[in-house]
Structure 1
Amino acid sequence: MDAIFKALADPARRSLLDSLAAKDGQTLKELEAQLDMTRFGVMKHLKVLEEAGLVIPRRSGRFKHHFLNAAPLEEAIDRWIAPYRPAAKATLTLKQRLETPMTDKPDFVMQTYIRCTRDALWDALTDADQMAEYHFLARKVTEEDKIYRYYFEGGEPMFTARTLEAEPKSRIVSTFEPHWEEDAVVSRSTFLIDEEGPYCRLTIEHRDLKYPVAPGEGVADGWTRWAAGLKTFLETGQSVRFSAEAQKEDEPA
């Protein structure tokens, strides 16, 4: 917590976060051009933000891209107003470590730590019945030949995910094919699993998105709610759907 407030105390670091909020995944050169300071100075500020978990660096070829990680801010907020922000619990333990090299730059990156075994996490990510238990909107998921189809509560198709690559209990790459809009662009999602004692670190990456990612909206909000359901399901065994619709259903009449 102290590292977060220390990182936010400097106006230059706040400017860097504002810049990443407006355009995520910028390189050092892009960020340097926006501040009246040396390259070394910008690097020092980025290091502080990385240590606080507010920025996640990601190398692609010769370039290092920087992504805003809002989870530590959610954790700080959740400490005082958790009863009013159930969705904030989604990524309380998100961290900034990304270790697996990729050849192309992701449009969205997120991490969470889940108290579970590698086997349990892998099963939750590949078993259609379990997927339907924790997804924030899908009420039914089917699987055939590693093609997963998600359905809304009324039975309407939500999206399809075709497995492109799979390294057992370590990595999954699949398509993301929305069915809720015409001419939807097919994108790619990646799950990376690393085990750390009693915890598993799950990294989520999303590529080839049609629109820029805005923190707390669209794709970012969807992954936050999805991760909240997955984490709760694995750690408590309870099926909780972190969606506005589900919250309305749970409200007393």
Structure 2
Amino acid sequence: MDAIFKALNDPTRRALLDSLRQKDGQSLQELEETAEMTRFGVMKHLKLLEEAGLVVSVKKGRFKYHYLNAVPLQEVIDRWIDPFLAKPAARGVLNLKAQLEGTAPMTTPDAKPDFVSQTFIRCTRDALWSALTEADQVGQYHFLAETAHGDMIAKGDGMVFEMQPGVPMVRTEVIAIDPKSRIEATFEPSWAGPDMAPSRCIYLVDDEGAFCKLTIEHYGIPEGQEGIADGWARFASGLKTWLESGETVRFAHAGEN
């Protein structure tokens, strides 16, 4: 965590994070225009933020976009702040949408995600893949979904995440899948009512020896659903804890059960 505190111990870097919080997925040129410093200076600060895991960059076509990664900050909160506020409880967020009427087009290679999150988990690729695709594991780590049913093994498969049995929170359907490496799925939320607009997300799994890298990309987030970013951070924290320790911890907001 030393790299996180070092990265935050500079007003310019904190300003860059604030800028990404207000508008995620900015290019270097966009960040340079708001930073009042040279391009080289912005690149230097971004490098430190990326090394600390606070910023994730994604290259699409000729452009490189930068995203605020909330997972490391959430881990700091989980370790030192949340224990003084409330015990972790069930809270939830997202997953994905049904078929968008007919055959939904896959995300194009140059499409820019609205949100990107990345975390490293000390586990095998098989264990991470099973946790993402098997419904019976979801209740062990998801911050809101107590139960789930269905699976995400092949194209056309779907899963329903439930806040409690019979109360759906998110429905998903697999659009494309590369076993143990990539899942692209629809994201149909319903926690605030049946008329919430759908979007789609991608899980990317990379085996890096003693641990795995999980990258989550979310595309087409509708206006009014920006809070999804916070939910992904809690999702990733619970998943990491479950896979590394076998402990069920749901990182919910205080007062949510």
* TM band (smaller chain): 0.7 to 0.9
| Identical residues among aligned pairs (%) | 56
Deviations, residues 37-66 of structure 1 (Å, cap 9, x unaligned) = 222222222222222322211111111111
Q: 1:153 aligns with which of 161, 164, 179?
A: 164
1:165 to partner: Cα distance: 0.9
Q: 2 CA distance for matches of 1:67 and 1:43?
A: 14
Give the equivalent residue in structure 1 for 2:47: 47
Shift of 1:203: 1.0
Alignment match, 1:165:
176
Residues in 2 aligned to 1:56 and 1:23: alpha-carbon distance in whole angstroms: 14
**Distance in structure 1 (CA, Å) of the matches to 2:111 and 2:133:** 25
- Per the TM alignment, residue 176 of structure 1 is displaced from its structure 2 partner at its CA by 0.4
Which structure shows the higher helix fraction?
A: 1
Q: Which amino acid aligns with 2:236?
A: A
- Does the residue aligned with 1:198 lie in a helix, a strand or coil? coil
Structure 1: how far apart are the matches of 2:4 and 2:248?
Answer: 32
Matched residues in 2 for 1:41 and 1:50: separation? Answer: 14
SS at 2:196 equivalent: coil
Counterpart Cα distance in 2 of 1:229 and 1:66: 24
Q: Does 1:108 align with 2:115?
A: yes
Whether the 8 Å contact between 1:59 and 1:102 is mirrored in structure 2 is no
Question: What residue is the counterpart of 2:247 in the other structure?
Answer: 238
Q: 1:236 to 1:187 in 2, by over 3 A?
A: same
Q: Quick one: distance in 1 between partners of 2:243 and 2:52?
A: 27
Q: Could you say which residue in structure 2 is the equivalent of 1:60?
A: 60
Aligned residues: 232
Pair 1:205 & 2:217 matched? yes
CA distance in 2, matches of 1:25, 1:222: 18
Going from structure 1 to structure 2, the CA distance change for 1:3 and 1:243 (only over 3 Å counts) comes to: closer
Q: Distance in 2 between matches of 1:142 and 1:50?
A: 36
**Alpha carbons of 1:35 and 1:152: their partners in 2 closer, same or farther (altered >3 Å)?**
closer
Match of 1:139 in 2: 146
Contact 2:124/2:210, CA 8 A, preserved across alignment: yes
Whole-Å separation in 1 of the counterparts to 2:169 and 2:141 = 15
Pair 1:6–1:139, CA change in 2 (3 A): closer
Measure the CA separation in 2 of the matches of 1:49 and 1:164.
33
Unaligned stretches of 5+ residues in structure 2: 89-107
1:228 aligns with 2:237: yes
Matched-pair contact (CA < 8 Å) for 1:122–1:169 = yes
75-84 or 31-40, larger mean C-alpha shift: 75-84
Q: What is the distance in 1 between the residues matched to 2:143 and 2:252? A: 5
**Greater relative contact order (CA < 8 Å, ≥ 6 in sequence):** 2
Q: Is the 8 A contact 1:170 1:194 kept in 2?
A: yes
TM-score (norm 2): 0.79
Q: Show CA shifts across 1:52-91 (max 9, x none).
A: 322211111111111112334445556654633666xxxx
Secondary structure of the corresponding residue to residue 15 of structure 1: helix
TM-score (norm 1): 0.80
Is the Cα–Cα contact under 8 Å of residues 107 and 212 in structure 1 kept in the other structure? no
8 Å CA contact 2:56, 2:118 repeated in 1: no
Deviations 1:164-206 (CA, angstroms, capped at 9, x unpaired): 1111111111000112324322111111111122211111111
> What root-mean-square deviation, in Å, do the aligned CA atoms of Structure 1 and Structure 2 show?
2.6
The structure-2 alpha-carbon separation of the partners of 1:244 and 1:54, relative to structure 1 and needing over 3 Å to count, comes to closer
Aligned to 1:97: none
The question of whether the paired residues in 2 share the 8 Å contact of 1:23 and 1:212 is answered with: no
Change (3 A) 1:234 1:206: same
Q: CA deviation at 1:22?
A: 1.0
